[in-house]
Structure 1
């Protein structure tokens, strides 16, 4: 990923809210199996965006604070919370400097965003925020480009319009994050993953891609329009189904802050 590539997801707030599929509830169930209990626990979700992961935790009974530098996304998150019937506290801030108190949380999470952080500083902030024996959770929910599928064709088009975007051809697995956590002093590091298909109409898939880092969050508005029209044509000509089943991988790493020292 280019160090000159700095997407602004606040520019995509409406598409982000409408078209990005949230983390599947199964994620919370699998976290509980690993000992990450969220019910009646204090959690903070870094880079929360529109609150997808924060809402899952809140629906599972956690007291949640969401942190994000993009105020427009937090506004969208509050609207989604009203629809879901949950209450989450949101604050504008960064993962590296949240402004939250020391050792005040049982779980600190980062969903679909660790790659945008200064990892050493963010990991140190996670350590500071967690109580002893608290858990750090980094999770992802990624589309999967497979040979000849709609995701591969979409990624090719993104790269054509935005050569600075170098996040294509991913596997949905992030071994480097384990090193980030281990280097910061965390222990008992475990990972898991599972795959699901997410249904999108062609129109919704175009909206989902507009909400991505390589398109709506980084291209000029005129280019976003051209991109959308071209992607619509690709879907019409090569993937004409009324519903596109987009393969996704859910992946997470869980780590524990030891009760004493680093």
Structure 2
């Protein structure tokens, strides 16, 4: 990830927790098909944010630890866990240096965050944390900009306010992460993906975008307000209605610790 664009998601904790669509539950079924089951397993979710992956793993029966550098996000994660009736052990820390013990985990996951990490250091840390034969999961849940859709219009508006934002125009596919894992000695590398549509009321889409890297996590508060007003006008004029249907892609790579 380029060093010139460093968002602080702690600034977006309330919108992040309230409006960002979490990973769909189907990802647990897909991971099971790739040999990753959760009941009774010790799982670490690095870059956990508000715990969207961690909660799914806990609901599937795992003992989950979540690590993130943004304490406000972790506090919001605890609130959401209480509402969901699960518990995760959340700790402040970085993916490259978690401070957690060697060989303590069956699975280490990174959801929607690998691009923020120093990949060689994070991969080495994951290798240290995994038990022999342990599995790593790098997953994403991305909106899809398609010609003329609300995502394309939203990304154009983000760039007009924040030209340094570099995350637009994505396909939801991350082949470079496979190279990161192979270089670090992981084996049995496999990927899967599936698409779905997420319904957003207009106000929720505005909240979702306020919580994004290019808006609430980097722009000053007055610019966030100006952007939000402008997005409201775009939605009213170009995408009217009570619900906006936003296409998303779930994609993941799974691999095994190389000496397993």
Asked if TM exceeds 0.5, the reply is: yes
Residue 128 (structure 1) aligns with: 128
Whether the 8 Å CA contact 1:2–1:165 is kept in 2: the answer is no
Residue 200 (structure 2) aligns with: 200
Gaps of 5+ in 2: none
Q: CA deviation at 1:32?
A: 0.4
Q: CA deviation at 1:75?
A: 0.3
Q: Distance in 1 between matches of 2:181 and 2:44?
A: 17
Q: CA deviation at 1:38?
A: 1.2
**Residues 36-81 of structure 1 deviation map (CA, whole Å, 9 limit, x = unaligned):** 1111100000000000000000000000000000000000000000
1:167-246 pair list within 5 angstroms: 167-246=167-246
> Secondary structure of 2:152's match?
helix
Q: Distance in 1 between matches of 2:75 and 2:168?
A: 29
Residue 137 (structure 1) aligns with: 137
Match status 1:165 vs 2:165: yes
Q: Distance in 2 between matches of 1:145 and 1:217?
A: 21
Count of matched residue positions in the alignment of Structure 1 and Structure 2: 260
Q: CA deviation at 1:252?
A: 0.2
Q: Distance in 1 between matches of 2:32 and 2:173?
A: 21
1:86-105 pair list within 5 angstroms: 86-105=86-105
Residue 118 (structure 2) aligns with: 118
Whether the 8 Å CA contact 1:2–1:164 is kept in 2: the answer is no
Gaps of 5+ in 1: none
> Secondary structure of 1:127's match?
helix
Task: Give me the TM-score of the superposition, normalised by structure 1.
Answer: 0.98
Task: Give me the TM-score of the superposition, normalised by structure 2.
Answer: 0.99
Q: CA deviation at 1:152?
A: 0.1
Q: CA deviation at 1:259?
A: 3.6
> Secondary structure of 2:209's match?
helix
Whether the 8 Å CA contact 1:48–1:68 is kept in 2: the answer is yes
> Secondary structure of 2:132's match?
strand
Q: Distance in 2 between matches of 1:17 and 1:195?
A: 22
**Residues 74-131 of structure 1 deviation map (CA, whole Å, 9 limit, x = unaligned):** 0000000000000110110000000000011000000000000000000000100000
Whether the 8 Å CA contact 1:63–1:88 is kept in 2: the answer is yes
Q: Distance in 2 between matches of 1:87 and 1:240?
A: 39
Q: CA deviation at 1:258?
A: 3.0
